Structure 1
Amino acid sequence: MNKNLSQTHNSTLLEDVKTLKRMEMSLKKSKELDQTENMDLSAKLFNLAECKDEMWNPEKFSLMYGTWLWDHSTPAQKVKLNQLYWIAYYAQIISAEIATIFFNQTAAAAMYGLEDFKIVCDTLDLESAQERTHINAFKVISEKYEEEVFGERIFTYPMRTPFVKTMLYSDLSKMQEWFRTWQLRTYSVLSSNSAFIGCQYFTVRGLRTLNGKMVQHQLSRYYTEHANKENSPIPSKVSYYHFMDESFHFNTSSVISHEVINSLPAASKFEKMVANMSLEGCQRDHYNFSTAINGIFWYDPALYPLIYKVLRSKIFNMSHLEALEALRKSFCEESEGMIQSHQTHQESIDSYKHYLADFKYINKTNRDMLIMSENKLEKHLKTNRDAFKKFRSKAA
């Protein structure tokens, strides 16, 4: 089409032949390798009795791995901790993917208001459909597990809207949670009306997916390296199917945030400010690292009540005082598990810096990841110890 007739700004995605071809090829391959059917079938076939005595992840991806609790657990208890890592990890992924479904669509609404962005919007439509399938599989498996093992929810939760805080276990106060909800609602309006702001979601999503990719690739290897793939645990298969889909989702985030954005109208000062605010919000979400679950940036003290329930359950059969002492030794003493989680946090900071290195509108706080970098191992230990004293006092 004649550019003078079709375009409302000087740049066009149609003129960026390299990026357009990348988007077209990625969408084609994503459709060909779409794991929706496998995910849906896995959710239907899951039967805990068939895999209750086997690990679902590589051993180091176990709840409380490398802590006092792990070191003093029986082989059977370690299997349960390994399975609980899967439940906890994908509980967080569900929360992130609920947000993805919504903000994919607000960004698409803004981009579709410009010419030539149909290929991007079609890609986001496919991804949103895949995310719904992922969420369903994670929820079905996790809820069946917790119902059979505990008879109540531990890490699972009812469906939620995208306006609830994305990071499930954080150190936000009630007021801060309310403010975060207000921010998300405001961002939804802005991102559906500004293609630049809409695209900034994929900068944030790229960082979040970058962290997830580091862990999920290793989770998927439990299936790919299993001696008997056909009879491997269904949750392990789901980890693999999810990683297959998410590999394309990460590519989408990278292409939109680094390349598609160059075909948009120049950003205003306000749009750049919003972009940096969203990245600072991501840093705050990822400020903490968890001793309990390597690879998810949860706030340890928020997990004390949940881990206490696990310790008091039939898996460990601990008394009240035994459970409190196990919590203290596991969360308040430096351990190999805590060190590994801290290392993952540091690796994420470095990878985020690299991802953002060529973004011209990024401020120093985000370019150098100054907020995330403030959290050190010593600070983490002090936070855990101070919070445990309060938890023990209330639990007495």
Structure 2
Amino acid sequence: MHRGLAQATPHSLLDDARIVRQVELNLKRNTAQDASEAIEAAVAAYCLSDCRSSLWNLETFSLLWGTALWNEASPAQRVLLNQLYWVAYYSQIVSAEIATIFLNHVAAVGLYAIEDFRPVCDNLDLETRQERVHIHAFKTIGEDFEHRLFGRRIFTYPMRHPFTETMIFADSNRFQTWWKSVQLRAFTAMAGSPFLGSQYLLIRGLRTLNGKIVQHKLSQFFANHAERERAPIPAAISWHHFSDESFHFNTSRIVGLEVPRVLPAPSAFERWVVNRGVAGCQLDHYHFSVAVNGIFWFDPALFAATYLLLRSPSFALDHAGALRMLERCYCEDSDGVQAAARTHAEAVESYRRFVEPVTWLSAANREMRHMAGNGVDRYLQTNRRAFARFQHRASALKDQPQLAPADLAGSSA
């Protein structure tokens, strides 16, 4: 596009050739390495019996690793816990990517007002297509795994719309879920602002930064496998997924941090909206989970799902034994709790570094004060109070052969 014929607007990427090069190079590289076909082929070739006895991740990335359950599990049960980590972790990723597909389009609406917006939106279009492939892969394998082993959902769930609580096991209730839906719908009404369009990518980058760190570690199981062609297919999918998501994070970084340089200074209202978004991220990521290290689930909301797992034939605990194991895993300090707390602390520091150049954030958001307020002592106190309440209603689970997914996902104990 000839700069002299560009529209008379202060919103132009053409004013900063460096940003244009970054955006175009990211698109070129993501297009060249697009893992969609490899993931689709892996899903088509997946058969549980081929990988049922294999680890799918590094051993430390196992459900309830480092807790009493892990320490006392048999070798076969440890393999199951390792595979369940994959199912649970990527069930959360599905929820996040459903929201990403929708909000990518919302952000693009605002970015239309930036001259030469096409390379930015082309990045988002490619990412959206890749997200659909990721969702299909994770849902297909996760649901097949749970159906064959348990005959019911534990960590998976039916397809959901984007106007809901993104965190699957959250410290939430019906009113809070409804209010979040209202906030998401309100944000779409503001989509005409180029600045807010760019800042969705800032918040997206912040929300996915810890995922980038964890998923790099998950991808290494396949990357370092002695015989890649014989590696478990879920491990290969983790590797391909991380490859795609690395470029998605680059898009978030470039658009969220660099594009605002060519935009007018944000209004007071726009700054308020962005600060509310970052505060919401802190709220969502305040908790950490000993069950799935690296996902910010509210562990009391996992009590019912874990109870069902412990009562399943895979562990075959009776009612009293399942409750006691729940208490030992979630209410007592352990290597698993300490590891989850370290991951959370690492996330806090990485978030601080990411937003350091963002001048329009409040001190509380730049320093991640709310998120940094959690720790092992508070985590254990919260779980102990919740477990005392859970025991009173656990009798309803004792003889119930099947619970609806709504009874397991996103409910506080």
TM-score, normalised with respect to structure 2: 0.94
Whether the aligned pair in 1 keeps the contact of 2:12 and 2:114 (CA below 8 Å) is: no
Paired residue for 2:87? Answer: 87
Whether the aligned pair in 2 keeps the contact of 1:8 and 1:114 (CA below 8 Å) is: no
Equivalent position amino acid for 1:122 in 2? D
Equivalent position amino acid for 1:320 in 2? H
Q: How does 1:81-160 map to 2 (within 5 A)?
A: 81-160=81-160
Paired residue for 1:203? Answer: 202
Paired residue for 2:214? Answer: 215
Out of 109-118 and 281-290, give the one that drifted further: 109-118
Taking the aligned partners of 2:264 and 2:131, their CA distance within structure 1 comes to: 30
Taking the aligned partners of 1:164 and 1:4, their CA distance within structure 2 comes to: 45
Paired residue for 1:40? Answer: 40
CA displacement at 1:2 relative to structure 2 = 6.0
CA displacement at 1:114 relative to structure 2 = 3.0
Equivalent position amino acid for 2:57 in 1? N
**What stretches of structure 2 of length at least 5 have no aligned partner?**
396-413
Taking the aligned partners of 1:235 and 1:20, their CA distance within structure 2 comes to: 36
- Deviation track 1:20-76 (CA, whole Å, cap 9, x = no partner) reads 111111111101100000111111111000000111000000000000110010000
**What stretches of structure 1 of length at least 5 have no aligned partner?**
none
Paired residue for 2:300? Answer: 301
Whether the aligned pair in 2 keeps the contact of 1:280 and 1:366 (CA below 8 Å) is: yes
- Deviation track 1:233-292 (CA, whole Å, cap 9, x = no partner) reads 000000000000001011111011111121223311101100000000000000000111
Equivalent position amino acid for 2:290 in 1? T
Whether the aligned pair in 1 keeps the contact of 2:3 and 2:14 (CA below 8 Å) is: no
Taking the aligned partners of 1:349 and 1:182, their CA distance within structure 2 comes to: 27
Q: How does 1:313-328 map to 2 (within 5 A)?
A: 313-328=312-327
Taking the aligned partners of 1:196 and 1:8, their CA distance within structure 2 comes to: 18
Taking the aligned partners of 2:105 and 2:11, their CA distance within structure 1 comes to: 23
Note the aligned Cα RMSD (angstroms).
1.1
Taking the aligned partners of 1:147 and 1:11, their CA distance within structure 2 comes to: 51
Equivalent position amino acid for 1:29 in 2? R
Whether the aligned pair in 2 keeps the contact of 1:9 and 1:265 (CA below 8 Å) is: no
Paired residue for 1:20? Answer: 20
Paired residue for 1:179? Answer: 179
Whether the aligned pair in 1 keeps the contact of 2:11 and 2:115 (CA below 8 Å) is: no
* Counterpart secondary structure, 2:348: helix
- Deviation track 1:327-368 (CA, whole Å, cap 9, x = no partner) reads 011101000100110111111001100101111101011011
Whether the aligned pair in 1 keeps the contact of 2:14 and 2:115 (CA below 8 Å) is: no
- Deviation track 1:205-249 (CA, whole Å, cap 9, x = no partner) reads 111221001110010011011121101100000000000000101
- Deviation track 1:133-163 (CA, whole Å, cap 9, x = no partner) reads 0000000010110110111111111111111
CA displacement at 1:14 relative to structure 2 = 1.1
Taking the aligned partners of 1:117 and 1:297, their CA distance within structure 2 comes to: 34
- Deviation track 1:283-336 (CA, whole Å, cap 9, x = no partner) reads 000000011110000000000000111101111011111100000111010001
CA displacement at 1:5 relative to structure 2 = 4.6
Paired residue for 1:292? Answer: 291
* Counterpart secondary structure, 1:193: coil
Paired residue for 1:351? Answer: 350
Taking the aligned partners of 1:314 and 1:133, their CA distance within structure 2 comes to: 33
* Counterpart secondary structure, 1:259: helix
Q: How does 1:132-281 map to 2 (within 5 A)?
A: 132-190=132-190, 192-281=191-280
* Counterpart secondary structure, 2:73: coil
CA displacement at 1:9 relative to structure 2 = 2.5
CA displacement at 1:371 relative to structure 2 = 1.0
Paired residue for 2:377? Answer: 378
Equivalent position amino acid for 1:93 in 2? I
Whether the aligned pair in 1 keeps the contact of 2:288 and 2:344 (CA below 8 Å) is: yes
* Counterpart secondary structure, 2:169: coil
Out of 163-172 and 107-116, give the one that drifted further: 107-116
* Counterpart secondary structure, 2:199: helix
Taking the aligned partners of 1:114 and 1:258, their CA distance within structure 2 comes to: 15
Taking the aligned partners of 1:61 and 1:2, their CA distance within structure 2 comes to: 52
The count of residues paired between Structure 1 and Structure 2 equals 395
Paired residue for 1:53? Answer: 53
Whether the aligned pair in 2 keeps the contact of 1:77 and 1:315 (CA below 8 Å) is: yes
